[in-house]
Amino acid sequence: MDLPEASNAILAALGSAWVQFASDTFSTLIGVMAGFAVSIYLSRKQIQYDSRKDQETVIQVGISNLKQVVYACASNLENLLNMKYQMIGDLKSDCDKVRPAINEFRDPKEIVAISEPLRTFFVGFPRLGVMKFPDYDKFSEFINDIPMLLSIIHKTEFTLEDLNNRIASRNSLIDKHSMKNMDGLNAHAVFYFHQMILSESDNIIQYVDDALFFSDLLSEQLINYMKCKYPEQRNIKFAPSDHLKAIMPPKDYVKTYRDQFRDFSTMPKKKKLFTLADAFSKQSL
């Protein structure tokens, strides 16, 4: 082989080696870039998945708080209905008997003669046992779905609290009346105590129905919401017996609130989808 041919052979071999090297380097680079891109993609999906899981955890905590409200409403409804069945009916009857004599400012002796035989007019009531609701900031994620949620919770809480305040005030008046009565009551004292006890009794009668209405409305609204939005969730609803159901206030007792009752049947249900992020998530390994 002469020199030119040897040179050509060497150049050809070198060229072939460089081509192979370049090809291998390019293939390696493509593989590294592809792997890096896939790694970034899966990392982003992991972050999205974890973010979604965090959001799901917040929602589950929120649902737990809604359930606490439903359970509290069931407990409060039971206590309210028992109070109304056992005491409020007799109190209302006694108030109706003594009311004309008080309102017409009849002779104090006649007022006393009417009120003394009554069973409940001068009998104190025990405070209502109330189960508290979670704080308002626990429901922020549900405000868009249930705009009136906080308003109804506040109204229910206020009514229950004011009912117990009226019971305490009436009990205090009865105690003072008993102490004053031992020394003898003048005409002014007779009118004062009878009017004040009658007024607080009327307040208690009204607040019991108010509390029943708002507790029932709140419970019904939340149960319907979770049934439509989160059908997999289980809930309890207080189901009174027939004789207690008969003394519930009518559904339109406070019509302005009942008219704001929302129907959630057309609300899209929350779906759980399996995604690529689920497959590669650390939580699914």
Domain borders along the chain are 43-284
pLDDT: which is higher, 179 or 210 = 210
pLDDT of 283 > 50? The answer is no
22: how many CB neighbours lie within 10 A of its CB? 10
Residue type, 13: A
User: Does position 81 have pLDDT exceeding 90, yes or no?
Assistant: yes
CB distance 157 to 130 below 8 Å: no
pLDDT, tens only, 98-149: 999 999 988 989 999 999 999 899 999 999 999 998 888 888 778 778 878 8
Instruction: Look over the chain and give the mean of its residue pLDDT values, rounded to a whole number.
Output: 80
The mean per-residue pLDDT over the stretch 263-280 comes to 55
In this prediction, residue 226 carries a pLDDT of 83
**pLDDT at residue 60 in the model:** 75
Tokens of 217: 């409305």
What is d(CA 213, CA 157) in angstroms, rounded to the nearest whole number? 12
Neighbour tally for 189: CB within 10 Å: 16
DSSP 242-284: HHHHTTSPPTTTTHHHHTTPPP-TTSPPP-----HHHHH-GGG
